[in-house]
Amino acid sequence: MKDKQIYLEITPFFPTEKSFRGPYIYDQVKAIERNSNYDVVVIKTVSVFSKEPTTYTYNGVKVYNFKVIDFPSSILPGLFHTVNLHRFERFLKKIVGIIPQQIAFVHGHVAYPAGALAVEFGKRHNIKSFIQHHGLDVMQLSNGRLLKGRLKELNNLFVKRRFLKSVNGASINIGVSQKVLDRLHDIDGYAGKRESVLYNGVDTKKFYKKDVKKDRDIFTIGCIGNFWRIKDQMTLLKALNILVNEKKITDIKVIFVGSGPTLDECKKYCNRQGLQNYVEFRKEIDHTQLNDFYNTLDLFVLPSYYEALGCIYTEALQVGVPIVGVKGQGIEELIRHEDKEMMLIDKSDFIRLSNIMESFILKTYNIDNDYNFDINPIIIPFIKEIIK
């Protein structure tokens, strides 16, 4: 660390041996290391009640867990920000072993707490600070479940005032899609200095076409996502129902990967419609095993209508699997104009989805499967931009 300047990443998301949440941050860290002359240091923000160790190593990256003091369930988040910032300064010096003069950039992921720490620390020491926004709820107003009604409204007002100060203070606000940055512009009082779109690229050493023998007698569709209402797996099931029970297309199988509150509803629908033989439900797949899964698919479908980007789409396309998503979401920015008709549907349009699925099954439509989302050509211009 003495020879190179430090690129400091502060993030609530980073994989562990027990949880693979945040693999795109890991990929970003490795890409910055490969394509720049900086040492990347990763600080993961965790709850003060967390029992995670102070440090751990994941696939060659050392991660430092910084415990943030806050009330549970996002009640008045940032109330102890000054205290946390002071603790963060000491944490860097005593635990991480670095001082501000060694740091070239500080990059926080999501507005709070990582983004707020990045911006305020950067201001104190005249270091360029970035906040990268990964979701459409850029102010994180959906966090927390304890507050309701008027109390929730007051809490949201507090959140907006506190978080907006950090967002406006960032040297650059980064969105994983233009759609995310557009959400920033919808916020009253937003006045960011600079903006940049940084798509989540794909590590092509992890996601690539393999010479896998597929079952040519069965058309296999994959769907990865938490079973939440906004992911809208039900639209895919309704489209499947049309194909099986109305059009009598039975050489088809849909594999759902994930868990969540709407899973039981989807299973009950399958039972009512007699789709059990055409659907398989699997638990989450470790990120390191996803490439094998993608390579068994003929089509990937996720009808999510609240999606900042969706790494699963780019991963599937990188493997050469066509995808179907929803219009107006972040992934639309990366789909070629000529492919949009067959790769995007309106929200919850299961009839159109069934027709698209039938076209792929009958091979009446084929896309040019040469999409390339290699993370390295995405990171290189970003590095050049932040140096300006």
Give the total number of structural domains in the chain. Answer: 2
Please check whether residues 150 and 15 belong to one and the same domain: yes
Ramachandran area for residue 131 (φ above 0: left; ψ -120 to 50: alpha; else beta): beta
Please check whether residues 194 and 296 belong to one and the same domain: no
Alpha-carbon distance 381 to 184, whole Å?
Answer: 23
Per residue of the chain (388 residues), what is the pLDDT tens digit? 457 899 999 999 999 988 888 999 999 999 999 999 999 999 999 999 999 999 999 999 999 999 999 998 889 999 999 999 999 999 999 999 999 999 999 999 999 999 999 999 999 999 999 999 999 999 998 887 778 899 889 999 999 888 999 999 999 999 999 999 999 999 999 999 999 999 999 999 999 999 877 777 899 999 999 999 999 999 999 999 999 999 999 999 999 999 999 999 999 999 999 999 999 999 988 888 899 999 999 999 999 999 999 999 999 999 999 999 999 999 999 999 999 999 999 999 999 999 999 999 998 877 778 899 999 999 999 999 999 8
Residue 150 belongs to some domain of the structure: yes
DSSP string, 224-292: ES---GGG-HHHHHHHHHIIIIIS---SEEEEEE--STTHHHHHHHHHHHT-GGGEEEE----GGGHHH
Q: Any idea what the CATH number is for the domain that residue 112 is in? A: 3.40.50.2000
Please check whether residues 253 and 172 belong to one and the same domain: no
Sheet holding 299-301, edge to edge: 279-282, 252-257, 219-224, 299-301, 323-326, 344-345
Please check whether residues 76 and 162 belong to one and the same domain: yes
Residue 370 belongs to some domain of the structure: no
Please check whether residues 180 and 236 belong to one and the same domain: no
Encoding tokens for residue 189? 């009082």
Residue 309 belongs to some domain of the structure: yes
Query: Parallel, antiparallel, or unpaired for β 61-68 and 55-58?
Result: antiparallel
Please check whether residues 104 and 190 belong to one and the same domain: yes
Alpha-carbon distance 19 to 44, whole Å?
Answer: 14
Looking at residue 5, the DSSP 8-state letter turns out to be -
Please check whether residues 274 and 158 belong to one and the same domain: no
Alpha-carbon distance 22 to 12, whole Å?
Answer: 8
CA distances from 356 to 108, 246, 324, 344, 351 (A): 40, 15, 8, 9, 9
Please check whether residues 177 and 55 belong to one and the same domain: yes
Residue 371 belongs to some domain of the structure: no
Three-class DSSP category at 98: coil
Alpha-carbon distance 299 to 220, whole Å?
Answer: 7
Taking the chain, what is the end-to-end CA distance rounded to the nearest angstrom? 23
How many beta carbons lie within 10 A of that of residue 79, not counting itself? 14
Who's near 94: CB < 8 A, 6+ residues apart? none
Query: Parallel, antiparallel, or unpaired for β 252-257 and 279-282?
Result: parallel
Sheet holding 103-109, edge to edge: 55-58, 61-68, 39-47, 6-11, 103-109, 128-133, 172-175, 195-197
Sole residue written with tokens 């001082």 = 99
Residue 311 belongs to some domain of the structure: yes
Residue 211 belongs to some domain of the structure: no
Query: Parallel, antiparallel, or unpaired for β 219-224 and 252-257?
Result: parallel
Residue 369 belongs to some domain of the structure: no
pLDDT at site 1: 46
pTM of the shown model: 0.93
Please check whether residues 170 and 232 belong to one and the same domain: no
Cross-strand pairs, 326: 345
Cβ burial 259-292 (10 Å sphere, 16+ → b, else e): eeebbeebbebbeebebeebbebeeeeebeebbe
Name the packing angle between helices 263-273 and 233-241 (round to 10°).
10
pLDDT at site 21: 87
Please check whether residues 342 and 196 belong to one and the same domain: no
Please check whether residues 85 and 10 belong to one and the same domain: yes
Please check whether residues 10 and 143 belong to one and the same domain: yes
- Residue span of the structural domain in which 87 resides: 6-201+376-387
Query: Among 295, 322, 293, 328, which Cα is nearest to 309's?
Result: 328
Who's near 190: CB < 8 A, 6+ residues apart? 164, 167, 168, 184
Residue 213 belongs to some domain of the structure: no
